[in-house]
Amino acid sequence: MTKKIIKKAIRDLLKTFSEYPDIFLTENDVCCYLFAILIKSNLHLLRPQKTRDASFSIPIHSGIRWYGSSGKLRYLSDIVLLKPKDLRVKDRSSLRLPSKGYGFNSYYGIIEIKLRRVNGYSNNEFLKRIEKDVIKLKNIRKETKIYNKIKKPIYCLVCLDKKHDIRNDIEKMVSSIIRPEENIFLKYIFQKSK
């Protein structure tokens, strides 16, 4: 799994949104569409692979939960591309799985999705939600960095906007909270409904 694959899929999604914004009614629509693009261009994502505990899984998942050191749910990610041979899905007597029923350390990328509809959040509220997801990605990166065996995984927030073009505000926000070495990318596009 390379960054090129993830970035190309995101470019394809942005192109589709610029041409047909109204095929996306919800963030789940966007997530499903991106999931489909990733799978269509990389069928190996559907090929079951052996897990760490001799079961089978695939590299692409949605709705992945992240727990903090306290053991409590901290975050939920839209799409995660992980390394199945690092995934555990079975309890062992000496090492129990978290309550979510799976555990892994190595992943290739995390993708978060934001969609603002025509009648959606105010500019300030949408910016706050975007900033919250950026901080979530930063925290996941920080908390998992020492365990992840994948060099430079990709962290991406894709923001689709049908209400107002707030590109300048987003660029200011991004430059103030994301450092280049964090490998966090934010892709924003504005397109009015046609």
Question: Among 66, 18, 60, which Cα is nearest to 38's?
Answer: 60
Structure confidence at residue 89 (pLDDT): 86
Structure confidence at residue 97 (pLDDT): 55
Distance of CA 81 to the CA centre of its chain: 8
Cβ neighbors of 169 (< 8 A, separation 6 or more) are: 123, 127
Phi, psi of 109 (to 5 degrees): -170, 155
Structure confidence at residue 38 (pLDDT): 94
Residues of the chain with pLDDT under 50: none
Cβ neighbors of 172 (< 8 A, separation 6 or more) are: none
Cβ neighbors of 90 (< 8 A, separation 6 or more) are: 53, 55, 97
Overall pTM > 0.85? yes
Q: What whole-number distance in Å separates Cα of residue 178 and Cα of residue 170?
A: 11
Phi, psi of 171 (to 5 degrees): -60, -40
Structure confidence at residue 147 (pLDDT): 85
Residue 82 tokens read as 């992980």
Structure confidence at residue 151 (pLDDT): 87
Structure confidence at residue 95 (pLDDT): 57
Number of separate domains in the chain? 1
Range of the domain at 39: 3-190
Residue 46 tokens read as 């559907």
Q: What is the pLDDT of residues 84-125, one digit of tens each?
A: 999 988 766 555 556 677 888 889 999 999 999 999 999 999
CATH code for the domain in which residue 21 is found = 3.40.1350
